Structure formats: C-alpha cells, structure tokens
C-alpha cells in the first residue's frame, strides 16, 4: 500500500498542542521549543479552531521587529486564519495536494468539527521512509 493511500488519521500526530489566541507570541514560541514542535493549534474558549500558529509566523514578526515585541503581540496577531483543515478520513494524497496548493506544512485533522490531530510534512516523510 502506498503512503498516499493512507488516511490523515493513520499518520497524524494525535492530541495536538493548543494555545489560546490571547497568549503572547513569546509564550507560543516557548511552548513550541519545549515540545520540539513547529506549530500549535489556536483554540478559542468556545472550542472553535480560529487558526494555527507556526514558528515561521513568529520568525516573520522578528524580521521587522525586536524580540521585545514578542511580549506585546498576541497569537491572534500573527496566526494563520482560517486554518486549512482536513478530515480524518482524507487520503494522504489529497492532504498533500491541499497542503501544497495552500502553501502550508501542517494542517489540523478534524473529525467533524472536533480537532483530533495535526498532520505535517514530517509525518508523511516519516511514514514514507519506514522500513
């Protein structure tokens, strides 16, 4: 079976790390570093998924500003919104096409409206190189 025939649920990282849109960019950056990940799902208090914040989003802020700005700006100021999402039963082939067309490296995986994981290029690469 080809990796492209697997589903998002089969390759995703379950239980993704989340952060509130009101958290500072410094808090988001620290959480990514502590967990050795490159993105966080942004979850609103009502269980909604308004976006995703990636290390790239924070680095882009640093291109034009001093690191002190990370304490002033909130995740909501730099996150990608809306989040490009896939359903848990989408094929990896379809997920990869969507990710490439959207210019993103990671996508939240949903079951209905509930986030159940995150799928990244790294997850696909790991599966493709397994013996």
Residue by residue, what is the 3-state secondary structure of the chain? CCHHHCEHHHHCEECCCEECCCCEHHHHHHHHHHHCCCEEEECCCCCCCCEEEEHHHHHHHHHHCCHHHHHCCEHHHHCECCCCCEECCCEHHHHHHHHHHHCCCEEEEEECCEEEEEEEHHHHHHHHCCC
Q: What is the CATH number of the domain that holds 70?
A: 3.10.580.10
Single pTM value for the model: 0.89
pLDDT digits 0-9 by tens, 57-104: 999 999 988 999 999 999 999 999 999 999 999 999 999 999 999 999
Domain that holds residue 119: 3-128
pLDDT digits 0-9 by tens, 9-53: 999 999 899 999 999 999 999 999 999 999 999 999 888 899 999
Quote the number of domains for the chain: 1
């Amino acid at each position: 079976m080809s990796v492209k025939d697997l589903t998002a649920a089969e390759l995703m990282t379950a239980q993704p790390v989340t952060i509130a849109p009101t958290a500072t960019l410094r808090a988001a950056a620290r959480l990514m570093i502590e967990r050795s990940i490159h993105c966080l799902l942004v979850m609103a208090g009502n269980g909604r998924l308004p976006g995703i914040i990636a290390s790239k989003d924070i680095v882009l802020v640093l291109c034009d500003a001093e690191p002190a700005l990370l304490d002033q700006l909130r995740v909501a100021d730099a996150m990608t919104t809306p989040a490009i999402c896939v359903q848990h039963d989408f094929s990896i082939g379809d997920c990869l096409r969507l990710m490439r067309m959207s210019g993103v490296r990671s996508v939240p995986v949903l079951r209905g409206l509930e986030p159940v994981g995150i799928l990244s290029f790294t997850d696909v690469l790991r599966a493709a190189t397994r013996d």
